[in-house]
Amino acid sequence: MEIKCKYENVNWKDNPAFSRYTCKITSASITEPKQEIKDIIGKHEADKTDRDVEAVQFDRAEVHYMPRGLNKIFPNLKAIEIKRCGLKEITRDDLVGLENIEKLDLYVNELTSLPDDLLEGMKKLKWISFRENKLEFVSSQLLLPVLGNEMNWVSFRKNPTIDAVYKASEV
């Protein structure tokens, strides 16, 4: 599996305070569950390494299942964004090793359900978006593990039967 990345400092449009050295991935093919990423092809900016990467963005890549192993490549990862990639499924096992992320943004995808235990152990998560998926129902158990995290953003906007968003006043 070949994954190409462009490394750059990114000011995230939806959260201007969230500026991070980012791996922007536009070429990937993850079409089977439980696929582990072992290597990412790209040239870092001067004086930067994989340890400096704090965010990964997949945009319009073929990512039908949550990629595994990102934490092994980027040990200081704080944000994952998968947008317009056709993501069909995510499980708690897909997030093992990513317990330190602050932002999980999975919008404009094909998710139809979310497991109750998805966010267990995500003690630093403050920003979650499942906007514009195909979710029709989400259990009340889903957000319980992150209620004490000083959430800044939780979005289920523009799903078939869910159109809800929470935004902290300072965001």
| pLDDT tens digits, one per residue of 122-162 | 999 999 999 999 999 999 899 999 999 999 999 999 999 99
- Mean pLDDT for the chain overall: 93
Question: For residue 7, what pLDDT band results from cuts at 50, 70 and 90?
Answer: very high
For 144, the 3-state DSSP assignment is helix
User: In this structure, what token pair is assigned to residue 81?
Assistant: 């964004």
User: In this structure, what token pair is assigned to residue 18?
Assistant: 């969230």
Could you tell me which residues are beta bridge partners of residue 21?
9
Does the pLDDT of residue 16 top 90, yes or no? no
Question: For residue 169, what pLDDT band results from cuts at 50, 70 and 90?
Answer: confident
* Higher local confidence (pLDDT), 115 or 10: 115
Q: Cα torsion at 55, 60, 156, 9 (round to 10°)? A: 20
Tell me how many degrees the CA angle 41-67-145 measures, rounded to the nearest 5.
Answer: 135
18 secondary structure, DSSP code? -
- With CA atoms as reference, report the closest residue to 79 among 27, 11, 28, 147: 11
pTM: 0.93
Tell me the pLDDT tens digit for each residue of 20-51: 999 999 889 999 999 999 999 999 999 999 99
